[in-house]
Structure 1
Amino acid sequence: MKEEELTIKRRQLLKLGTASAFGLILTAGDLFWQVEQARGDELTSPSLTPEAALQELLAGNQRFVAHKAQHPHQSEKRLQDLAQAQHPFVTVLSCADSRVTAEIIFDQGLGDIFDVRIAGNLATQGAVASIEYAVVELKTPILMVLGHERCGAVTAAVKKADLPGEMSLFVKEIAPAVDKTKNMAGDAVENAVVANVKEQMQKLKRSPLLAERLASGTLKIVGGRYDLDTGKVTAIA
């Protein structure tokens, strides 16, 4: 056999070996991913106490802040398990802001969080109805009202902005929180963000259905403030 033909055959063998090795690497990587996803599916339970549910939620935020997210509950098995029923362990009333996505900032996955999102994290009639469904029917033990830094809806309320259309609702609904903070020292918007979270928490506690769960100890309502710069969620009493 000529030297040129031998060289060609050697190259073909090398390419075949490389392709086989690459296939093994992909297979190993896929297996690792499947194992990690399977572990993730065991992270939470629908029967958590309010204290344990809150701990799990905040632990997820700590992972997110530390850039050690586990991205649980995103496997094909999880998708199939949720096809017929859902068992979220927390309800989050948060602002309709693209930067404040609960599943990401709390490092949770499919079926973990019952999201109710509305600008200004307002406990409007529709929002309360959705929350009552999550708490009463799905039995979520934790309800978090989550405000965030530099909230546009709160800023509009502080400035008493004349917004067009239905957006004027933000200013009207957040006005009581703004009034409570107008004589406070510090940043007016930041003060109003925190006060608005407390205001919405009080509204939710006036729901007879939620009040019943609070009295029985099967529900805990908590507040949170999300920092856009750090990703950290700080508790608001």
Structure 2
Amino acid sequence: MQIKQAIFDESCHINPQALVQGQRPWAAILSCADARVAPEWIFGLGSGELFQVRVAGNSAFNDGIASLEYAVAVLETPLIVVVGHSGCGAVKAAMGKEPLTPLLEDLVQPIRESLRSGDDLTQAIQGNAQYAARQITQRSNLIAEAKDSGKVRIIPVYFDLNSGLISKL
């Protein structure tokens, strides 16, 4: 309890008592599970501001898309940001020839679908973020309708670990 309060006191931009009442994040994030790319850190935000879906390689997987549907339909979140990042190990694994475990093969399969011949790692990571952003609306009628009506925007971005810069793709 004391750790939670210390974190809230130091970095939370929202009154902790408001968080007890519910959530109203201003953005939903689909990002990689990489420990170096924590969305609060990247965007300089605190608890309660982002609805997060994280998986290695920031793939638009079924449960992740369903979670984003919840953010859009129930929480009325107006923005979905898909974050790819430099040095992504999942994209690198998808590009490689090394054998993977069956579960890792399942994980990288959607990333492989995003790959274009001749792309280097950075291009592949950026292409994967753009592909995942398209997959969200292609696989969710709810989000596609919300996007078409202007209730939600979907933006793929690239985070460079070295510079700390975020670029819209």
Same fold (TM over 0.5): yes
How much does 1:164 deviate?
1.5
1:73 aligns with 2:73: no
Instruction: Note if contact 1:122-1:173 (Cα within 8 Å) is conserved in structure 2.
Output: yes
RMSD in angstroms over aligned alpha carbons? 1.6
1:149 aligns with 2:86: yes
Return 5+ residue gaps in structure 1 as ranges: 1-36, 38-69
How much does 1:72 deviate?
4.9
What is the count of residue pairs matched by the alignment?
Answer: 160
Return 5+ residue gaps in structure 2 as ranges: 1-8
Report % sequence identity: 37
- Which residue does 1:231 correspond to in 2? 164
- TM-score with structure 2 setting the length: 0.89
Q: Distance in 1 between matches of 2:79 and 2:69?
A: 12
- Which residue does 1:12 correspond to in 2? none
Higher RCO by CA contacts (8 Å cutoff, separation 6 or greater): 2
SS at match of 2:37: coil
- TM-score with structure 1 setting the length: 0.64
1:213 aligns with 2:146: yes
How much does 1:110 deviate?
1.2
- Which residue does 1:105 correspond to in 2? 42
How much does 1:161 deviate?
3.0
1:182 aligns with 2:117: yes
- Which residue does 1:124 correspond to in 2? 61
SS at match of 2:53: strand
Could you tell me which amino acid in structure 1 is paired with residue 13 of structure 2? H
How much does 1:160 deviate?
3.4
SS at match of 1:92: strand
Instruction: Note if contact 1:92-1:144 (Cα within 8 Å) is conserved in structure 2.
Output: yes
How much does 1:170 deviate?
2.8
Instruction: Note if contact 1:72-1:107 (Cα within 8 Å) is conserved in structure 2.
Output: no
Q: Which structure has the larger Rg?
A: 1
The structure in which a higher percent of residues are strand is 2
